[in-house]
Chains A and B, each alone.
Chain A
Amino acid sequence: SQQGEEDPQALSIQEGENATMNCSYKTSINNLQWYRQNSGRGLVHLILIRSNEREKHSGRLRVTLDTSKKSSSLLITASRAADTASYFCATLPQGGSEKLVFGKGTKLTVNP
């Protein structure tokens, strides 16, 4: 079963614009992770945010987490054509499980 649900399913923007993707989940989590997947490739880990954290930055990426709303957002600032990819959130549920549960992803297209 898939716990995370990304929104929107697809997003098309111009180079230089910001891209925001949202993720909602259902159960309590240990942490939430964002991954990127380029076409025909494996997933690449972007950022991990723990349940006791509210915001995290990495380069042009900013992730927020609201555990009261069971939601997270990924912001990519000043997007580039190379950011074109699918972005997945993955949750690690509380309770000792090491099983990441992925959403269906947001397909981002950045037009040059």
Chain B
Amino acid sequence: EAGVAQSPRYKIIEKRQSVAFWCNPISGHATLYWYQQILGQGPKLLIQFQNNGVVDDSQLPKDRFSAERLKGVDSTLKIQPAKLEDSAVYLCASSVGGNQPQHFGDGTRLSIL
């Protein structure tokens, strides 16, 4: 079984620029999650999709972050414009749904200069 794929693995941009991350979940997993993990902390949920509908985006800074999951499969997360405090690892995870374990990709490490 192929795991959760994310790209790019690393990204360096200047503040106020825009950036996008891509995630391909495990085939058949209806639920997709985007997390932000700041160095030394646990992941914080940004947004959760069930198929292509948003279940929870209460912690997504909507003035600068956006996410979509077209056709209920792949997903993209965008930041525009980026701030210094957005430096973090962005993790994508998927699950079959409900309270089942989540499967994580290796993340995108974002550095803002």
For the residues of B in contact with A, the DSSP-based class is loop
B window 25-58: CB within 8 A of A: 31, 40-45, 48, 55-56
Residues of A within 8 A of B98 (CB): 98
Q: Cβ of A88: which chain B residues have Cβ within 8 Å of it? A: 42-43
Chain B 53-66, CB-CB to A under 8 Å as 1, else 0, gives 00110000000000
Contact of A102 among B42, B103, B105, B107 (CB under 8 A): B42
CB distance B99 to A30 under 8 Å? yes
- Bound-state Cα–Cα, A45 to B102, Å: 7
CB 8 Å contact bits of B70-111 with A (1 = contact, 0 = none): 000000000000000000000101000111011111110100
B-side contacts of A41, CB under 8 Å: 106-107
- Chain A 14-41 near chain B by CB (<8 Å), digits 1 or 0: 0000000000000000110101000011
Knowing A48-B101, A92-B99, A99-B56 touch, does A2 contact B106 (C-beta < 8 A)?
A: no
**Minimal beta-carbon separation of B67 from chain A (angstroms):** 15
Question: B99–A43 contact, CB under 8 A?
Answer: no
Chain A residues contacting B104 (CB-CB under 8 Å) are 35, 42-44
Q: Count of A-B contacts with CB under 8 A?
A: 56
Number of interface residues of A (CB under 8 A): 25
Q: With A31-B99, A104-B41, A105-B42 in contact, do A42 and B4 touch (Cβ < 8 Å)?
A: yes
With both beta carbons as reference points, the residue of chain B lying nearest to A86 in the complex is identified as B42
Q: Which residue of A lies closest to B50 (CB)?
A: A98
Closest to A97 in B: B56
A98 and B101 form a contact (CB under 8 A): no
Nearest opposing residue in chain A for B98, CB measure: A98
- Across-interface contacts of A43 in B (CB, < 8 A): 43, 91, 93, 102, 104
> In the docked arrangement, what's the CA distance between A102 and B36, Å?
11
Are A42 and B107 neighbours in the complex by a CB distance under 8 Å? Answer: yes
- Residues on A lying within 8 angstroms of B by beta carbon are 2, 4, 30-31, 33, 35, 40-45, 48, 88, 90, 92, 97-105
